[in-house]
Amino acid sequence: MLIEEIQKQVAESSAVMNDVRRELAKVVVGQDAIIKRLLIAILADGHVLIEGVPGLAKTLIISSLARTLQASFKRIQFTPDLLPADITGTLIFNQKTGEFIPKRGPIFANFILADEINRAPSKVQSALLEAMQERQVSIGDNSEKLPQPFFVMATQNPIEQEGTYALPEAQVDRFMMKLLIRYPSLDEERKIMALMVDPKEPELQAVLSPQHIQQMRSVMHSVYMEDKLMDYILHLVLATRHPERYPRLNGLVPLISFGASPRASINLARAAKAHAYMEGRAYVTPDDIKAIGADVLRHRIILSYEAEAEEIKSEEIISRILDEIEVP
């Protein structure tokens, strides 16, 4: 297919995303960057981990997004006494028939909010993360497919550590992106106050359906990425593992214990395509990769004790890598 034909398809298909963002702006104020990245993750068939203090509209964002996309939505509040069956479902004995019948858990929805995922024990976290990876769950002897699209937005609170269970690095790696949600500005908070004090709740219109999202994904996959941009992604990821191979990054060697996994390369390529699609382009540019680089890499770089002692954040390391690796 010619690039002109792909460009036409992308322009027509992606235009509706502006309608989605306009609808969400009716109820969500000042989180445009977060919304855009959630849409990118949905298009790229990934999941998102959001870190932020309470009260920053994380639940409102994903529930509103589900309404706008006509998708089913379930919120799971993670607590220390939660069991894996509370998420995936279990077998219930039917006294009339004398048989066990499967009772599906809340995981069977298009959009899942895993609220405060770090409050649940590792068995529960593993049950969710396995469902995220396999797109299916086992209830009894049967494996049941999860609905499509299937998107998980997990949240964790960075300020409360008591009674929490940190996600293991290998499991955090299953999230396509880790996003940091910020406080609103003074003007934005004034708008939020006015919106929430008004007793009349804004009405959200359904713009898309789950079937439309599947169609948009097929168009997004046709977005063209040159081989030299794939090599650029590989060098960015390699620089997190072996900074000593790049003369200008030698100073990062004592700051990184472990670099990003191959999932980083895959997710960076997928997210870059989705970013280009959101911009209405049929081809990926280095700017697409740079725009989402920190979100894909920040949770995949494990810092050394030296970096932690010097209070160096992974964002600083990623910024330096993006600055120093030559753009094709």
Domains located in the chain, CATH noted? 16-215 (3.40.50.300), 223-324 (1.10.8.80)
* pLDDT value for 29: 86
Judge residue 275's burial from the number of C-beta atoms within 10 Å of its C-beta, 0-12 exposed, 13-18 middle, 19 or more buried: buried
To the nearest 10°, report the CA torsion of 295, 41, 74, 200.
90
> 178 or 203, which is more confident?
178
Asked if residues 132 and 172 have their Cβ atoms less than 8 Å apart, the reply is no
What confidence score (pLDDT) does residue 56 get? 81
d(CA 174, CA 172): 5
Q: What is the pLDDT of residue 165?
A: 64
User: What band does 280 get if pLDDT is binned at 50, 70 and 90?
Assistant: very high
Confidence band, pLDDT 50/70/90 cuts, at residue 31: confident
The pLDDT score that the predictor gives to residue 193 is: 87
The whole-number pLDDT of residue 153 equals: 93
**Higher pLDDT residue, 121 or 260?**
260
| Predicted confidence (pLDDT) per residue in 65-83, tens digit | 999 999 999 999 988 888 8
- Flag whether pLDDT at 1 surpasses 80: no
**C-beta atoms surrounding 314 within 10 Å:** 20
Average pLDDT, the chain: 88
pLDDT of residue 191: 86
HSE-up (13 A, CA, CB side) for residue 253:
8
**CB burial class (10 A; 0-12, 13-18, 19+) of residue 68?**
buried
Query: Which amino acid is present at 154?
Result: A
CB of 90 closer than 8 Å to CB of 230: no
What is the pLDDT averaged over residues 273-301? 94
- Res 328: pLDDT: 83
Mean pLDDT of 299-319: 91
What pLDDT, in 10s, does the model give residues 223-257?
999 999 999 999 999 999 999 999 889 889 999 99
Q: What is the pLDDT of residues 142-197, one digit of tens each?
A: 788 999 999 999 988 777 665 566 777 777 888 999 999 888 889 988 888 888 88
> What's the farthest any 2 CA atoms get from each other in the chain?
73
Residue 164, pLDDT score = 62
Q: What pLDDT, on the 0 to 100 scale, is given for residue 293?
A: 94
- Residue 162: per-residue pLDDT: 58
